[in-house]
Amino acid sequence: MSTLEKILLLGLLFPALTATLTMRLWVPVLARACGIQQSAWRAPLYALPVALLAFSIWRLLFVNPLPSDEEIIGNFQLHRADLETLIKAYYSAPEPLPGQSRVQWDDSLEVQAIKQRAGVGRVSNTMGWWTPDPYSFEWAEKLHQINAGTAEGRYALQQFEALQVDMIDLRYRQRPLRYPADYHIWKSLLYIPAVARTHDNKLWPGVSWNKLAPQTPEQYEKSADRLLPDLTNYPRNWKKGECVYRQLDTYWFIRMCRAA
């Protein structure tokens, strides 16, 4: 929900509450002065402000203010070619020179123009590493042998990073009144460069440094994230720090997270 929407809804909430209190105090006095029976005025006069009050509270607390899945999917389809060009540019960044940490992949005017055209603010790595076979012992061993403390090692790992695509549009990051203690909730696109395993509406994780060895199916299930058919509404039992996902195709997902 944008700041303007919050102001408008609070603008509805305040007059509705004021009108309800005013009617509660003064309408009975005026009705008696005019000889109108209580049953004749109470219901219709109270109906509108109470309805406005109820709607405002419901809208503020129960409607997800982030862009709908339909809007995100429409934007994704419209700009898919540009988005995939950005993904390719990230993975194709040249290897760092000795002493460099990483090469800034989006410095060129061409890439900046593509980001602007697609409405992309940032592309960043997330969710560990995804090798061609992300759940195999062989690939876990290969990752374990890479020295992440060197420029060469960081470049090698970069080829397996999952990427979060954050949009410029500020509506993709909100501070809803439903979660007043949280910093924010947000939606983004997620690209996984491998075929992630899904089972029972769960997305199995890739490889991270603290879990380099393949896990049992039970362990994967325990650490898996929820995969939902729709992220337009708030998910049930959404925990602090939890991200939930909707799969768009083999490699692309919508990601929605609640801050810890």
**pLDDT tens digits, 175-213:** 887 776 667 899 999 999 999 998 889 999 887 655 555
Claim to verify: residue 84 and residue 108 sit in the same structural domain: yes
Residues 81, 56 share a domain? no
Domain extent, residue 16, equals 3-62
Do 137 and 245 share a domain, yes or no? yes
| The model's pTM | 0.77
Q: What pLDDT band is residue 97 in, cutting at 50, 70 and 90?
A: confident
pLDDT of residue 45: 53
- Indicate if 106 and 216 belong to the same structural domain: yes
- Same domain? For 80 and 133 the reply is yes
Residue 156's Cα: distance from chain center in Å?
28
Q: Based on the fold, state whether residues 29 and 73 are members of the same structural domain.
A: no
Query: 16 and 130 share a domain?
Result: no
Residue 76 and residue 58 share a domain: no
Q: Of 24, 46, 62, which residue constitutes the final position of a domain?
A: 62
Same domain, 86 and 200: yes
Together in a domain, 126 and 238: yes
Q: Of 62, 86, 111, which residue constitutes the final position of a domain?
A: 62
Per-residue pLDDT at 3 exceeds 70:
no
**How much is the mean pLDDT over the chain?**
81
CA distance readout (Å), 155 to 46, 132, 159: 66, 16, 7
Last residue of a domain, which of 15, 43, 62? 62
250 and 140 within one domain = yes
| Count of domains forming the chain | 2
- Sequence-distant contacts of 196-203: CB under 8 A, at least 24 apart: 196/130, 196/134, 197/134, 197/135, 198/227, 198/247, 199/224, 201/226, 201/227, 201/228, 202/226, 202/227, 203/227, 203/245, 203/247, 203/253
The pLDDT value given to residue 96: 74
Residues 204 and 88 both lie in one domain: yes
